[in-house]
Amino acid sequence: MIEEGSKSSKATVEKRQLFMEMRAQNFDVIRLSTYRTACKLRFVQKRCNLHLVDVWNMIEAFRDNGLSTLDHNAEINVSRLETILSSIFYQLNKRLPTTHQINVEQSIGLLLNFMVATYDSEGHGKLTVFSMKSMLSTMCGGKIVDKLRYIFSQISDSSGTMVFAKFDQFLREVLKLPTAVFEGPSFGYTEHSVRTCFPQQKKILLNTFLDVMMADPPPQCLVWLPLMHRLANVENVFHPVECSYCRSESMMGFRYRCQQCHGYQLCQNCFWRGHASGPHSNQHQMKEHSSWKSPAKKLSHAISKSLGCVPIGEPPHPVFPEAAERPQDLAHPTQLKPVSNNMNDTILMSSGAPTSTKSSTLESPSRLDEEHRLIARYAARLAAEASNSTQCPPTDLSFNFDANKQQRQLIAELENKNREILQEIQRLRLEHEQASQPTPEKAQQNPTLLAELRLLRHRKDELEKRMSALQESRRELMVQLEGLMRLLKAQTGGSPHSSPSHSASCTMPMPIRSTSAGSTPTHTPQDCLAGVGDDVLDAFSQGVPRNLRNDLLVAADSITNTMSSLVKELHSVDDGLEDEEVNMRNGRDKVSAPRHYGNRHSTPSF
């Protein structure tokens, strides 16, 4: 009971951790609800490390986890949601350098608790697929135009026309984010939200949708969304001017300049909190600056603008084809065309949009093939964009600049993918080397194999000792046989009436030591022939002299055969040892029955 209480209290603390940290940032002192909402959601995005996940990586994760084939109203439980988030963040860590790795478990816990608190307030333990897609695609990193294009693909039909019912469902889901950070009174969902976004249009295509969402100002219910992206872009922008209120000599982020008070500028902290000094008032109109330009650059830009060298207004987004294209044949990457307005996530590919045709596990060899296919698609799209840029007229400078910028981005992404593939190959190589090396743990798991190996090694040592003893005996026997040969020659060359006893009384070599008998050798002639062989004994025991040359050769052959059989038995033991060592190195759980190489307790006779 105590353990269950501690676990539940720990889960409650984890659920409230993100909101407690957000309250500690004191965002509520910001007087404008738009900036307050954008700052809070930006904090959640960074704290959960969603700003490191590009929208196209998020779309790829949706496909890998099989969400593209599910209905928008299908429900998934919290455990599967945790699995999807785990795959997203583990893939993110594979793309990041080793010096910038994130805490995956902490990111999963914070984001999971935030999503459950936002979309499962009643505690059912389930979320719809469309809720998860809307939240993750809105809160992840990447360009806002890419996010809006993906969102439009989810709320439009096959002809490329927006379905108002699906857009209304999207507003219901996405406006739960401001409500989750306690900004529901300002940006909560209402029944008239759809018509406030599109008051007159009846047929909404992609370009019209992007025009409305990226307009200045955007729809009131979603005004915090583009501001959150602008906050991300200006976090590290430096302005070398002094704040007119706090007297800070430098500004980071936004800079605000009064349109009525000459030279009056405020940093973003002072402006957000409503600070004013001198003749300046909070009612004055302020202009927001996201970058710094020196007076010389301003003058040159004004002159170029007056002379018509700089376009007066730039479109907020590129113009996309209105008609949806047919699905691309992913089996032939060279036939892929550049960005299209396709209304299905299986064929939606844009600049810098990596996709995969099937899911792959981290350890599967097919994952490398999948990466190669991605690189092939990138190269094909890069070549298509290069051919299109060469066909453009030289006067279209802005389009050429955009094409070059996209090409540089694609090159950078290809280099990142290449580094990932090399790291994956190195990791698999290390795992293979570690698996091939024997470890003490594997040896401890096979005590029968160890006992068999020790027994075989003991048997090998015994045979080696016997081998060395037999070699010594053979050497002494050969010396004795040479003495017998000399004695035989002397006997055949002497008197024919000489007796065997006379020949046996002659000087004899040193007797050999028999390995099979433990008796102490003596100096008798009969003991001198001990261990030589029956043929030699018979030859010297008979009264009539025989031709002993053939008998001695037969005795030498018997000794040689005995030595050969002993060597073969020793080699068989060596082979058995090598087989058992190979089995131990491979870590087999089951070992074969012990091999018996002959009778281990018998001594070979000679």
pLDDT tens for residues 190-203?
A: 888 888 888 877 78
| Cβ count near 329 (within 10 Å) | 9
466 — pLDDT class (breaks 50, 70, 90): confident
Average pLDDT for residues 182-193, to the nearest whole number?
87
Confidence bin at 595 (pLDDT 50/70/90): very low
pLDDT for res 295: 58
Residue 158: φ, ψ to 5°:
-70, -20
Residue 401 is encoded by which pair of tokens? 């600049």
- Which pLDDT score is estimated for 116? 93
- Nearest residue to 145 via CA among 392, 410, 350, 311: 350
Quick one: average pLDDT of 271-277? 89
Which range among 154-168, 397-411, 468-482 shows the weakest confidence by mean pLDDT?
397-411
- The reported pLDDT for the residue numbered 402 is 64
Among the ranges 46-50, 261-265, 564-568, which has the highest mean pLDDT value?
Answer: 46-50
Q: What is the pTM of this model?
A: 0.53
Contact 149/353 with Cβ under 8 angstroms?
Answer: no
97-113-62 Cα angle (round to 5): 60
Q: Tell whether the model's pLDDT for residue 169 goes beyond 60.
A: yes
| Mean pLDDT to the nearest integer, 551-578 | 71
Contacts of 136 (CB under 8 A, 6+ apart): 50, 58, 88
172 vs 209: CA distance, rounded Å: 17
pLDDT at 324: 52
Q: What is the pLDDT of residue 141?
A: 94
* Amino acid making up residue 166: K
Rounded to an integer, what distance in angstroms lies between the CA atom of residue 253 and that of residue 234? Answer: 5
Distances (CA, A) of 364 to 359, 361, 367, 371: 10, 5, 6, 12
Most confident range (mean pLDDT) of 81-90, 458-467, 512-521 is 81-90
Q: Strand, helix or coil at 288?
A: strand
In 3D space, the residue among 263, 22, 284, 183 whose CA is nearest the CA of residue 271 turns out to be 284
With a cut of 50, say whether residue 374 has pLDDT above it: yes
CB 111 within 8 A of CB 85: yes
According to the model, what pLDDT value does residue 518 have?
40
Query: Of all helices (H) and strands (E), which one includes residue 257?
Result: strand 255-258
Collapsing DSSP to helix, strand or coil, 49 comes out as coil
State mean pLDDT over 428-438: 77
Q: Mean pLDDT throughout 379-384?
A: 74
Report the C-alpha gap between 74 and 127 in whole angstroms. 8
With 80 as the cut, is the pLDDT of residue 97 above it?
A: yes
d(CA 319, CA 342): 14
Q: Note the pLDDT tens digit of each residue in 102-151.
A: 999 999 999 999 999 999 888 888 999 999 999 999 999 999 999 999 99
Report the 10 Å Cβ neighbour count for 461: 11
Cis before 217 (ω within 30) = yes
Report percent pLDDT > 70 for the chain. 63
Write down the mean pLDDT value for the chain. Answer: 74
More confident residue, 487 or 514: 487
At residue 173, the pLDDT reads: 94
